[in-house]
Structure 1
Amino acid sequence: MKQVLQGLLAGVLVFLAGEARAQRLPFTWDVPKVVAVVDVPGVIVSEGVPVRMSAVLSKEKPEVIGQHLVSRFQAWELHVPKASLQPQLLRETMITALDTKQFISYTAILQANPDGTTTVFMGEANLGQGRLQPQSTVAPVFPGATDILNAELESSRTVTYAVSVGQSEVEAFYRTELGKAGFLEEEPRLFRSPNDEIKLSFSSTKEGRLAVVVVRRTVAQAPASPAAD
């Protein structure tokens, strides 16, 4: 009987362990010796991917924090590439892990400060949401665009970016999107609405990509003619 009970207990424990893994809570950050929270934007969009950002200030050294975070990633059953495969895009140390079930990447950037503290930037990129179409207040931006730059002058607003498609494809995109917004193409690459005009221009980058410049200006309204007596 004792052996039977032990077997049943072992079976229950295995079942509960499996349930615990199936209901695993989302990953939470844990940085040792935190002394302050650093204010950063809550969510940014990097290359069209939404990234939730946070940061803290720690009294611990970057090497200790890095080892601690790797252990935590592994405890959460996240995939942690070996050191030689970790992307290092900055001077500061970067550590990245991937939740292969939820398709969320977690990246920590460890910045050593002159006073001996460490600023830890923590980013969570929801790769499962896919890439968002870049946005601009000037005009729609072609999907997949990079190097997006917005500028505002007294008389106009401009957005520039680069794409890896042909000019005709970009022009067709604007005919469709600006048409939906009430613009008419009165001249090649010049679109007008009752209040605004948008002009497109193109050039080639050194990398062989297409540079797109979109300029938007407000159209002066002609004064209304006096009513005839």
Structure 2
Amino acid sequence: MMLTIRVAALMLVLGLSAPAWAQRANFTWDIPKTVSVVDVPGQVDANGVPVKLLAVRSKEKAQVILQSVVDRFLSWGFVVPEAYKQPQLLREPMVTAIDTRNFISYTAILQVNPDNTTTVFLGQANLGAAKPPQPAGLPVFPGGSGVLTAQTEGAHTVSYSVPGKTTADVEAFYREVLTKAGFKEIEPRVFKSSTEEVSLKLAVTKEGPVAVRLVRRAATPDDDMRPGE
């Protein structure tokens, strides 16, 4: 499974909260054997929490990087929950620490690449600046749980899971709801109105529930050039 920046951002803020007067710390990452760095400009709003992201590719093995990250967290005096208390929401290993003084959480998600390098998604979530998440205006399948929202420039994302259903059930639900709302399916699982476009991504997780991801963005003139329009 290949991670995306937006998915990584959503993973960074699960189960965390803090007072509203927090300020950002000056912590810096130090990933061994770094090959390249992608600094994601701006910030992502994940469930109302501002998150800054960085993606680093390293030649070092994932386990060595993981230990290096934990050691750095500890050297900065951060609280690192024990391994069994660390949320493992993806197949990729991840570790989170909290700067309790400034109410910042730091998370690293490690993805092993086919060329034996490791991509490390690094996130800094300013918990103290959290605001109520903005609704995306997208319906959630009945019985859906673990709803997460993220907002970036030009896109609003909703992710959640649905137990006891199939991808066909969820797809049929959105096809009916979005059609009634004035959207047209311009290609499989992509719906467009005169002003907006909604894309639907579905997958069955290893635990069984259907993983749902909706992305809503403003339609552009180029969208009218899609095949079949």
TM-score by length of 2: 0.50
Q: Relative contact order, CA 8 A, sep 6+: which one is greater?
A: 2
TM-score by length of 1: 0.50
Structure exhibiting the larger radius of gyration computed from Cα positions: 1
